[in-house]
Amino acid sequence: MLTESPPLGAANPAAHVVCGVRALLLAAACALLCGCGTLYLMQAASGEWQVLRRRVPIDTLLADPHTPPALRAHLEEVHAAREFASGELGLPDSSSYRSYADIGRPYVVWNVVAAPEFSVSPKRWCFPIAGCVAYRGYFREQRAREFAAALAVRGLDVAVDGVPAYSTLGRFADPVLSSMLRYGDDELAATIFHELAHQLLYVRDDSEFNEAFATTVEDAGLERWLTQQGASRRLQQLRERQAHAAAFVSLLARSRARLALLYASGAARDEMRAGKAQILGALAADIRALELREGASYPLYEEWIAAGLNNARLASVSTYFDCLPGFTRLLGESGNDLTRFYAAARELARQPRAVRHARLCTVPPALGGSSRRRAHGSSGEGSRAALLEVSGQYREHGPGRDTEPAAAILAAHAVEGERAEVVE
């Protein structure tokens, strides 16, 4: 397990050991993700190494009198939320989120999402162990944009977005990143609960199940966390943010369903192209109407509209949303007891995918049959990260005020963890 190491050099007695560990990391990544291009694998392994080597134990920073007060305040909240996660929520007592890494940039990864011109299902990239995911993550923005440009030349809809956090699902001791802090302490705690839920239970090639499960744990965990703190005002603000997020996701989901029906209609390509433009134009108008009703301005939405709404932008919505009501219902049926809820989720995870999806998930009619199966590779972190961004804007500024531009779409969930209960 890596921790922060001093600069490598001849005078450093640990240099050869650290170099050996780095070589093993690179080799392991190539073995796990073979078939995806050597350059891509090397940048992914090198980027992960650079994150891991910057880790400093949070306890060390809290004990250091030179730690800046603002950072200290964040880390005290993280420390308390991390203990609450394992002690009260029954989440893994692993090494993750017990260290901090200052990465010196606003995003840790830039992700590329792509979808065909006439499909709401994203393009997938498949890995032998991690399964299939609907994005490619790059630790350098330029490389992400170059890859996206090559896909666009092939006629695909593309989206490139910065990611403030990602998870290795327990394979490494994931740190809290400096890029995660700007969303506020409540969102930071929620992210920790969400990522630890993935370590608790993760089903191969079923992103809808995984993301909805983790989001249900996140929501329940944050409510309990704020209740324990007696933060009634923050709890009310959380519910207001959730209501706003649900309204926004509903707009995207309805537009995606309309597009799916259009693409399944068998219409001529020119007709579908015109219909697509009309649906996406109506979505842009609906988003602005939502802002008007709330008296709020969200630059994230404006960035999406200015860049051009497309299939790639909408591709992750179903993963986040389709199974979430089913998991919320399952938690209620478990008497809001998380231990019973986890057991029920594990039992469903062992069922065939068709059985658990029939129990939990709803899918627009146009996504039935083979189209529905193709959509299963979609990553739900896009929707979650976008909602995190908007939630942070809503919390920090409130209705009627402008907010900072930002776009956080997908988090890199490509590696399965040793500590996660992986169900085939």
C-beta of residue 371 within 8 angstroms of C-beta of residue 260: yes
Tens-of-pLDDT digits for all 424 residues of the chain?
223 222 333 334 333 434 443 444 444 444 444 444 567 777 888 888 999 999 999 999 999 999 999 999 999 999 999 999 999 999 999 999 999 999 999 999 998 999 999 999 888 887 655 567 778 889 999 999 999 999 999 999 999 988 888 878 788 999 999 999 988 899 999 999 999 999 999 888 787 898 899 999 999 999 999 999 999 999 999 898 888 888 888 898 899 999 999 999 999 999 999 999 999 999 999 999 999 998 888 888 888 899 899 999 988 666 667 788 899 999 999 999 999 999 999 999 999 989 999 999 865 444 443 333 323 333 344 444 555 555 554 444 343 322 222 222 222 232 222 233 434 3
- pTM, full prediction: 0.77
Average pLDDT, the chain: 79
The pLDDT of residue 45? 84
Provide the pLDDT for residue 270.
97
Reported as a single tens digit per residue, the pLDDT across 341-370 is: 999 999 999 999 899 999 998 654 444 433
Nearest by Cα to 113 from 138, 148, 164 = 148
Percent of the chain at pLDDT > 70 equals: 74
- CA 383 to chain CA centroid, nearest Å: 7
Nearest residue to 2 (alpha-carbon basis) of 21, 24, 30, 16: 21
Helix, strand, coil distribution of the chain in percent, nearest 5: 60, 10, 35
- pLDDT confidence of residue 95: 95
- Gap between the Cα atoms of 37 and 44, Å rounded: 11
Q: What is the rounded distance in angstroms from the CA atom of residue 52 to the CA atom of residue 2?
A: 7
Of 204, 249, 140, 148, whose CA–CA distance to 413 is shortest? 204
- Burial code (b: 16+ CB inside 10 Å, e: under 16) for 311-332 equals bbbbbbbbbbbbbbebbbebbe
- Residue 29, Cβ neighbours under 10 Å: how many? 18
Strand 176-177 and strand 99-101: pairing?
Answer: parallel
Closest CA to 238 of 380, 383, 392: 392
Give the CA dihedral 320, 190, 56, 405, nearest 10 degrees: 70
DSSP string, 211-268: HHHHHHHHHHHHHHHHHHTT-HHHHHHHHHHHHHHHHHHHHHHHHHHHHHHHHTTT--
Q: E strands, 75-156, where?
A: 99-101, 109-115, 125-127, 131-133, 136-138
What is the enclosing helix (H) or strand (E) of 160? strand 157-163
Paired tokens of 192: 């920790």
pLDDT score for 320: 66
**Per-residue confidence (pLDDT) for residue 143, from 0 to 100:** 93
pLDDT of res. 387: 52
pLDDT digit string (tens) for 208-263?
Answer: 898 899 999 999 999 999 999 999 999 999 898 888 888 888 898 899 999 999 99
Q: What is the pLDDT of residue 317?
A: 64
For position 75, what pLDDT does the model report? Answer: 97
pLDDT per residue over 280-320, tens digit each? 999 999 999 999 998 888 888 888 899 899 999 988 666 66
